Amino acid sequence: MITGVFEVKDKDLASRIGYIYTKTGKILTPTLLPVINPVRQEIKPSEIIDLGFQALITNAYLIRRYRCREALEKGVHKLLGVDKPVMTDSGAYQILQYGDVEVTNEEIVKFQEQIDSDIAVILDVPTGGLASREEAEYTVKETLRRAEEASKIRSRDDILWVLPIQGGTYLDLLEYSVKKGLKLPYHIVAIGSPTQLMERYDFETLIKMIATVKVNVPPGTPIHLFGAGHPMMLAFAIALGVDLFDSAAYILYAKDERYMTPWGTYRLKEISEFPCSCPICVKYTPTEIRELSVNEKMSLIAKHNLYVTLMELKRIRQAIREGRLWELLEEKSRVHPSLHRAFKVLGEYKDYLELLDPEVKGLVQGVFFYDNLSLSRPELLRYRRRILERYVKPKGYDKLIVIVGLKDKPYIRSHLYELLKNKFKDRHVVFYTPFYGVIPEELAETYPLSQFEVGAYDDMVERESINLLIDYVRKEKYKEVLLIYLDEAKTVARKIYLRMLRLNVKCNIRSHKSYM
C-alpha cells in the first residue's frame, strides 16, 4: 500500500481531520464529493464548488461513451469547468445497475490517465447489498484480479488510485478482500456496495462493514465509502474512520422532491416550514417552491440538499476538534430508530475505538454522560481500566471513606470533604459517582474527573458503577470502609453497603448529617 498522500491534523474516536494531497490541490477530510453527471448537469459543477465543496466525482465511463473526444482534448477539469480536484469512477455503478459495461478494465484505466483525473478507480465488480454468497465471492476475486492488472497498466505516478473492497454484507469476504488488496500499490481504500443498505436504512450492517475494513487498514490510509452521503449517517461512518464519501443523492432526491435534513428526509408536499436556514430555505417558503417549474424546483431542492450536507460535515469536523464526536453520535442516535440501532452496534467496537481515540485532545471541555450507551465512551473505558490496572492508593492507608452523592465538582473542595478529612486523618477518601464509579481524592481535580455532567442514567449504569467501586476496594485490600451519603443518595449507598458486606470488609454507613 502506498502512503504519504494523507496528512492527519486532528483525531477523535477513529475519525481523522486531515488533508489528502492531489496534483490539483489538497482536500480537507472528512468530506463528501458530489457526483456530477458528465452528460446532463442540472446544477453546474462550478456552482457546487462555489457552495463550498472542495472536490467532485464524475463518471469516466459515461465521459468516454458520450464526450470522449472533448474530454481527451480538454481534460476532465475543463470539461466540468472547475479547477478543484476531480475523482473519476470507472463505470462499476453501471455494472451494478445493468450487469455489464462496454469497456475493459485496461481501457478505462488508461482513459482516466488521459483525461487527467486526480483520483481514479479501477473497473471493479460491485457486490451489491443483495448478492448471494457465490455472487459475492466472484466479485471479490474478479475485483482483486482487476486491481492487480490495473497496477501493472498504470503509467502515471501523479494520480491517486483507489482500491475498491468488495464482499458486501459477507464480512469474512470483506476481510479477505482488504487483506489481499493491501499488498497492491494503491493510495486509497474504498468500501463498495452500501447503496442498497442505505435505501433500507440498514445502518447496522453498514457499521459492521466499515469496521471490518477499518481494523485491517493501516492508520495512514484514507478510506472512501462509495455511494453513501445522506447527512443523517455521516457522523457514524466518520467515527469509524471513513474520510471520503461520494453521493448523487442530492440531485436524485431533488428529482423526487425529497428534502434532506440531518435527521431524515421529507417530501416537499409534507413541509409547512423549512427547518433550515440555508440560503434556499431563507429565501423561499415551501409553498413558493411547490409553485415553481419542475426544473426550478429540482434545482433549489438539490442546492438545499448540498447545503445541509456541507453544514453537517462542518458540524462533524468541529465535534472532532472539540473531542465531542461521541456526544454528537449520542445526540444523533435519538433522531431515528435506525441510528439508535447503529449506535448500539458501534458500541460493539468500543475497544477498537478506545485504542484509536487520542488520550489528549485539542480543546479541553467537560464530558457528558447520558445513559447506558455512554458506558462505551472511550474516555470512560480508558479510565475504568486504568483505575484497576495502574492506580495504586497512597501508602499507609488501609481504611477508606467513600462519599456518595456529592454533586458540585471538584469534590475535594466541598465542605463535607474538608470536615471528614480533618476528622479521619488516617483514612483515604474516594468519591462514588455514576459512570466513573470511583474517584480517588488525589485525582479529583484532574481532567475530566472534575469536568463532567451526568444525565438521567438507568439501573445498568448504576450496577456497572458500583461494580467498579467494589473491584477497586478488593484490589486495594482496604480492611475497613465507612460510607457517607447525602440524603438523595441513600438508596444507592445502601446498595453499595450490601455489596461491601459480601467482601467480608468491615463496613459502616452514615448520613452526612452525622458529621455536619
Interatomic CA distance for residues 252 and 258, integer angstroms: 9
C-alpha distance across the termini of the chain, in Å: 66
Q: Are 107 and 152 in contact (CB under 8 A)?
A: no
Is 431 in a helix, a strand, or coil?
strand
In the DSSP assignment, the letter for residue 266 is E
Distance CA 73, CA 290 (A): 41
- Residue of 89, 124, 243, 357 marked catalytic: 89
Tell me how crowded residue 173 is: count the other CB atoms within 10 A of its CB: 22
Distance in angstroms (rounded) separating the CA atoms of residues 448 and 376: 16
Q: Do 215 and 250 contact (CB within 8 A), yes or no?
A: no
Cell numbers at 47, concatenated: 456552482
Decide: 61 and 108 in contact? Cβ < 8 Å.
yes
| Cβ partners under 8 Å of residue 415, min gap 6 | none
Q: How far apart are CA 19 and CA 30, in angstroms?
A: 9
**Among 222, 235, 224, 227, which residue's Cα sits nearest to residue 315?**
235
Clarify whether 157 is annotated catalytic.
Answer: no
Whether 319 contacts 325, CB under 8 Å: yes
| Alpha carbon distances (Å) from 211 to 42, 158, 202, 340 | 35, 30, 15, 17
Active site residues: 89
